[in-house]
Amino acid sequence: MNNFKEFIKSFIKAELKGWKRGEVIALAIVFAVIFINAIIVKDSIIAVISAVCGILYSTIAGKGKISCYFFGLSGTCCYSWLSFENALWGNLILYMCYYFPMQVFGIFSWSRHLKKETREIVKKRMNTKERLLLFIIAIILCSIAVGIIKYFNGSSPLFDGITTVLSIFGMYLTVKRCIEQWIIWMIVNGLSSIMWLNLVLHGAKTYATFIMWCVYFILAIYFYIQWKKEIDAQDRKNQV
């Protein structure tokens, strides 16, 4: 029992290490906005929980900490319910049939690539051939997904189809620890923000979800810059 307690304490200590004061303050402000908004407009409780878990997942994933997946699994369940309520069939299938099992896999995958000193993942980038192949496959699958969702009368076939397909690649690259994931998340999060804004304007009580996607977009830009600095520094060190 004592060994288990010590393991938990050391795990939590390692996960909290490396945070900047500005990052903590920014998170506190975002959560305050979400909670105040929820009280004022009587937002969906599920939407609020989904937003909090989702933002924590993206932030901690950007920090390269394995604990991100515990928030990711909780947020996935909540977001799946919201997708079901708003007829976003592509997002529903994506989250339940792909995100959930991939996040479980991500826990085991990341645990094999942690730095001993910081307990953060070792980050990497794709080569030119891999990026080109990814781009071609993404274009083809996006076109197919949009057509299928439109056939089943989805509420936002274009955005739903594109975000669904790109999220599949984004999650895969997240588990693979590739910096290119953040470029994909910029596109997905930007389009998702527009999609959920449209739903809010048509009466959906999911304001927190809209705010969540806007924050995701900002986080994708921020962590792309942070990961690039770290990977560039690793490359320079390896060349010496």
**Would residue 207 count as lying in a domain?**
yes
**Would residue 3 count as lying in a domain?**
no
Measured from the Cβ of residue 6, the count of other Cβ atoms closer than 10 Å reads 10
**Would residue 217 count as lying in a domain?**
yes
How many whole angstroms separate alpha carbon 199 and alpha carbon 206?
8
Which tokens belong to 225?
A: 């810059």
Burial 48-69 (b: 16+ CB within 10 A, else e): bbbbbbbbbbbbbbbbbbbbbb
- Measured CA distances, 54 to 62, 70, 88 (Å): 12, 10, 18
CA-based nearest residue to 48, from 31, 62, 28: 31
Q: Tens-of-pLDDT digits for all 240 residues of the chain? A: 556 566 566 666 666 677 888 888 988 998 898 889 888 888 888 888 888 898 898 899 999 899 899 999 998 998 888 888 887 787 788 888 888 999 999 999 998 988 877 788 989 999 999 999 999 999 999 999 899 888 887 777 888 888 889 988 999 999 999 999 999 999 999 988 988 888 888 877 778 888 888 999 999 999 999 999 999 988 888 776
In whole angstroms, how large is the CA radius of gyration of the chain? 18
**Would residue 5 count as lying in a domain?**
no
Q: What pLDDT was estimated at residue 40?
A: 86
Q: What pLDDT was estimated at residue 125?
A: 93
Q: How many domains does the chain have?
A: 1
Containing structural domain, residue 163: 20-239
**Would residue 231 count as lying in a domain?**
yes
**Would residue 187 count as lying in a domain?**
yes
Token pair 């896999």 is found at 105
**Would residue 7 count as lying in a domain?**
no
**Would residue 2 count as lying in a domain?**
no
Q: What pLDDT was estimated at residue 11?
A: 60
Using left for φ > 0, alpha for ψ between -120 and 50, and beta otherwise, residue 123 falls in beta
Q: What pLDDT was estimated at residue 46?
A: 87
How many whole angstroms separate alpha carbon 116 and alpha carbon 135?
34
> pTM to 2 decimals?
0.81
